[in-house]
A and B are shown apart, each in its own frame.
Chain A
Amino acid sequence: MTNTNDRIVVEHLSKSFGSREVLSDVSFTVKDQEFLSILGPSGCGKSTILRILIGLIEPTSGKVFKNGVDITNFPPAARKMGIVFQNYALFENMTVLGNVEYALKMDKTKKADSRRIALELIERVGLSEHLNKRPYKLSGGQQQRVAIARTLAVNPDVILLDEPMSALDADMRLSLRHELKSIQKEFGSTMVYITHDQEEALAMSDRIIVMDAGVIRQLDTPQNIVEHPADDYVQSFVLDNMKLKMVSLAGFNIA
């Protein structure tokens, strides 16, 4: 942890459920304001990493550092991280404002300012006109923005996203990529993004972790992964799948 640019350092993380090992000796770092994707097929252990990072499950062995502090045994709320789940898990009984404001009202030090902070966040994610709507009345993309705003309310310095696009249709996903990136720029947040979609990972990420069966196959920039895949697995999972997809999109020229 010599590099002050490192937000999160993960060292030798392993996790077993009973006799089944889902993560074995995983180490990596997440840099400040980086958009890091963890890419792999379902069951490769990527969601387990996310849950260990935020403290919802404990690792069998290994450590997690944030800003140089060992947070391996911290409870989730003490980690100053936010998470956006695949299905957003919005509070259906509350309005958009209620969702964003809820956590702030719990915090005694922020209670007085909760309304102001919430309104500001909602405006910054562009949902001001939907302030008093219930989540079920919003589109998938709008719901995602509510989830992000709710997470941002507690002022996390890292945001974890667990396949937030997988519930949306293809058109929506494309436009939301830009939206998510612009939110990241706007708030200067560090994001760890879980996906099984190669194209998504390549298009959005500063760096990508390619995972398979609980181990990291390659951690590199999109360009390096495309140009120098570390092994056959990366070659076939990332690149061949991509080509297939592009061919099936018809007429798309693979340069």
Chain B
Amino acid sequence: MIEEKQKLLLRSGHASSAAVKALLFVFFTVVVALPLLRMFVYLAEVDIVSIVTSMRFREALSRSVTVSVVSMLISVALALLLAYALARSNIRFKSVWRSVLVVPMLIPSISHGIGLLILLGRNGFLSKLLGLESGIYGFWGIVIGSVLYSFPVAFLMLSDILLYEDSTPYDAASVLGIPKLRQFGALTVPYLRKPMITVMFAVLTMIITDYGVPLMIGGQYNTLPVMMYRDVIGQTDFSKGAVIGLVLLVPAVVAFLIDLLNRDKGNLSFIIQPFRLVKSRLRDGAAYLVCAVVCVIVLLPIGAFLMLSIVEHYPIDMTLTWHNFERVMGMKTSLYLRNSLLIATGVSLIGTTLGFCAAYFTSRMKSWSSRLLHLVTITSMAIPGLVLGLSYVLFFNGTPIYNTMMILILVNLIHFVSSPYLMMYNTLNKLNENLEDVGATLGVNRFRLIRDVVLPQVKGTALEMISYFFVNSMMTISAVSFLWASNTKPVSLMIPQFEATMNLEAAAVVSLLILAVNLGVKVIISLSHKVFAGKDRD
């Protein structure tokens, strides 16, 4: 009978989706929770007290906290200023400003350190101009580098938040004759409070767990991640590394919990009245000024990379030459670049597929098991890259995937999966809730419906996921730094190696290379948007 056959099909459909869900759950548990557990077990045998009470550790801890908090405050303040300038003014070329402002997100954190070194180090372009003989090493160097590296992330988060602010309360306040300053205190501050806490902790975590900037420009100013990097890479001292890892886990977990508690409780009004902006030359002029100044600052290091790459030997011999490129390509760079492209492509394709599957279950087939899967998938957000990398060393050492490309793909996938997963989760949640029910009543099975109806509507988000995975895998120096082998080394990890030899030209060339690839990918993705996703609404 037809009914029997359809019933069977339906059952097999339920069974297979339950199986896929269980597999995803097991996968994420194995590659997130077990390595971390392994690290905790390892820590049980370590004399934590003597490490934590050592002078060197306590100094690095207090320095990490100080420099990160200062950097975070400046970074978020700058980001808020820029987000405001773009969201609440009538300036032109907004998308151009926005694109330039997020360029720092396309290069490794360590490249920001190098950029600063070239500009403000001893003999730096700007140090000479400004008469800074000794250069800007240590505390302020780290602050500037960390701000450059982290503000675009805060800027994007805050721009989003401002975009979804409703203007109606402001109109009402204006009608009542409440002055602008009081409106800010009574409306803007309460609206921003919760998201600001989320942004601040996210940025703080980003900065406090980064070793790239302080390694390059920190000088004698040692921070915890630098110490961890040196202990693990230089002395293969996993015990100290693991203890530091444990400490770095704290702000990340706090950030994660705060985000979890703040999420979904923000602005729930669905009708958002956009802000009608009155004409104001003063405001727009200020906005132009702020954007222009920051864009110049953002582009300066890139200009410096270019400068350093194309002259013979700055500042002694300034003749234009390809020698630096040739020299760098001679250092197995093409192999490492190929590795990076392979890793980034692998992470993008596998990550997007897994991220979509997980998001589909958690957004469209709600149940307690879906909620569990959701939690497991976003948990990776609470693990800093360095910590994840170290836990992978401890857990996968001796397994067949150790020292292979697979483990690099895996660790990046887990490190970066939560954001793209959440993008897809949000998009799928916005699709009509009854699509699957309609499919069921029309006799269309779920997989066909996903292929024919769901996927075509989320193409744009899928492209964004691919882009996010690719760009981040291309530039990361954190999770992969303990896991590469000589034939699997990603190109970004050449840069820390140049730190030891102070080969700035080579570091500049490699940074440019990564920037070029990531810019290329961004362009391809935005063209694909026009070709594929553009057809969604024409």
Contacts and interface: CB of A to CB of B under 8 A. Distances in A.
B452 A74 contact: no
Given A78-B7, A87-B432, A87-B434, A106 B443 contact: yes
Contact of A81 (B2, B435, B441): B441
Interface string A80-102: 01110101111111100000001
A56 interface: yes
A106 B6 CA distance: 13
A103 interface: yes
Interface centre among A54, A81, A102 (most CB of B within 10 A): A102
B441 A76 contact: yes
B537 A75 contact: no
A89 B456 contact: no
Interface string B430-469: 0011110110111110001000110011000000000000
Contact of B6 (A75, A85, A153): A75
A4 to B, nearest CB: 22
Interface in A98-144: 102-103, 106-107, 134, 136
Contacts of A91: 435, 452-453
Contacts of A93: 453, 456-457, 536
A134 B537 CA distance: 8
Contacts, number: 82
Contact of B443 (A54, A77, A87): A77
Given A87-B432, A93-B453, A136 B537 contact: yes
A46 interface: no
Interface residues of A, number: 32
A102 B434 contact: no
Given A74-B7, A75-B3, A78-B3, A102 B441 contact: no
Contacts of B453: 91, 93-94
Given A106-B444, A107-B443, A77 B6 contact: yes
B537 A154 contact: no
B444 A103 contact: yes
B161 interface: no
A7 interface: no
Contacts of B437: 56, 76, 83, 85, 89
A63 interface: no
Nearest to A79: B441
A93 to B, nearest CB: 4
A85 B438 contact: yes
Contacts of A150: 438, 442
A200 to B, nearest CB: 21
Contacts of B441: 54-56, 76-77, 79, 81-83, 151, 154
Given A56-B437, A89-B435, A91-B435, A102 B442 contact: yes
Contact of B438 (A55, A89, A134, A136): A89
B91 interface: no
A74 B9 CA distance: 12
A89 B443 contact: no
Nearest to B455: A93
A73 B9 CA distance: 14
Interface in A28-79: 54-56, 73-79
Choose among A56, A79, A92, A136 the residue with the greatest number of B CB atoms under 10 Å from its CB. A92
A55 B443 CA distance: 12
B10 interface: yes
A189 to B, nearest CB: 15
Q: Which 10 A-B pairs have the closest CB atoms?
A: A77-B443, A89-B434, A103-B442, A93-B456, A78-B3, A76-B440, A85-B434, A89-B432, A76-B441, A75-B10
Interface of B: 2-3, 6-7, 9-10, 432-435, 437-438, 440-444, 448, 452-453, 456-457, 536-537
19 contacts: A56-B437, A73-B7, A75-B6, A75-B7, A76-B441, A76-B443, A77-B443, A77-B444, A78-B443, A85-B438, A88-B432, A89-B433, A89-B434, A89-B435, A91-B452, A136-B537, A150-B442, A153-B442, A154-B442
Interface of A: 54-56, 73-79, 81-83, 85, 87-94, 102-103, 106-107, 134, 136, 150-151, 153-154
Given A56-B441, A73-B7, A77-B443, 6 more contacts: A76-B440, A77-B440, A87-B434, A89-B435, A102-B444, A154-B443
